[in-house]
Amino acid sequence: NQALDYELHKTYQLNVQVHDNGINPLSDTCIIHIYVLDQNDHAPSIQMKFNPIFEHNHDGNMAYIKESFDINLPLAFVTVHDQDSDDRGKAQLTIEPHHLFYLEIIRSNNYAVKSIHNFDRETMSYYKIELRARDFGQPSLRRSMTFELNITDINDQIPHFKTNYTFDLIENNRIPTIIGQIHAYDYDQGINGQITYTIVPSSSYFFITSNDGIISTNTSFDYEIRRIYKFQVRARDYGQPSLESYVNIQINIIN
């Protein structure tokens, strides 16, 4: 009355009785054993859980990983299962992109997902990983699943200047006079990449706007008294701990 399912019942036993229609009916009984043969009707299932040290989204398919993560540790744990028997129930698991990630066997049908390379958010901040399982039945059945890694920032980029700066300033200038602007680059994210500028050591002649690097005068200059002024500017980010670098500034007083 219904389809047989090897995974639910592998054998059935039927008791059959026969009898004739004589005045004194004669009868006999027999037992019939039915053995259900398996066929490849179940695709492999894939279960994935992130390493519990990571934060992840509600659906459990995206983890947030610091770029300083130790790649010797697992990113995720994967279990593959196939309800079929024999080769039909054996599954092969592969991962893509395989040049960035690999599967380490923990025990039969259990794997750890690991990274081949260290993470660098400034180079790659997002990964989409696909797990593919196939059994060895004929024809083979397949299943796949994807999950995502969002690489979060740490303060590992030092602010840097591309060049030293030289500016010209005509003597007898007004106070204040904007001389020019400098710029440092920091490829970190958020406050790790925000920069504050400071003249070091502090100067009575010049000042700099801390958030945008605009250098202005604090006094009026005389070419006949002094023609060149040199100082340094420090660029420091807001990371913890903060990182910093320095640039040389030269101001030429023009007659």
Q: How many helices (H) and strands (E) does the chain have?
A: 0, 18
pLDDT of residue 189: 94
pLDDT of residue 139: 82
| Strand 101-107 relative to strand 195-200, pairing | unpaired
pLDDT of residue 187: 95
Q: Chain-wide mean pLDDT for the chain? A: 92
Is 135 in the same domain as 201? no
pLDDT of residue 88: 65
Count Cβ atoms within 10 A of the Cβ of residue 36 and give its class: 0-12 exposed, 13-18 middle, 19 or more buried.
middle
Query: Residue 113 maps to which CATH number?
Result: 2.60.40.60
Is 56 in the same domain as 126? yes
- Phi/psi zone of residue 190: left (φ > 0), alpha (ψ -120 to 50 degrees), beta? left
pLDDT of residue 19: 87
Is 209 in the same domain as 120? no
pLDDT of residue 4: 67
pLDDT of residue 203: 95
pLDDT of residue 246: 98
pLDDT of residue 87: 65
pLDDT of residue 191: 96
| Secondary-structure percent of the chain, ordered helix, strand, coil, rounded to 5 | 5, 50, 50
pLDDT of residue 38: 64
Is 60 in the same domain as 106? yes
pLDDT of residue 183: 98
Q: How far apart are the first and last CA of the chain?
A: 107
Q: Is the full-model pTM beyond 0.85?
A: no
For residue 221, being part of any structural domain is answered with yes
Residues of the chain with pLDDT under 70: 4, 6-7, 36-40, 87-89
pLDDT of residue 40: 64
Find residue 185's DSSP bridge partners.
160
Q: Determine the structural domain holding residue 231 and report its residue range.
A: 165-254
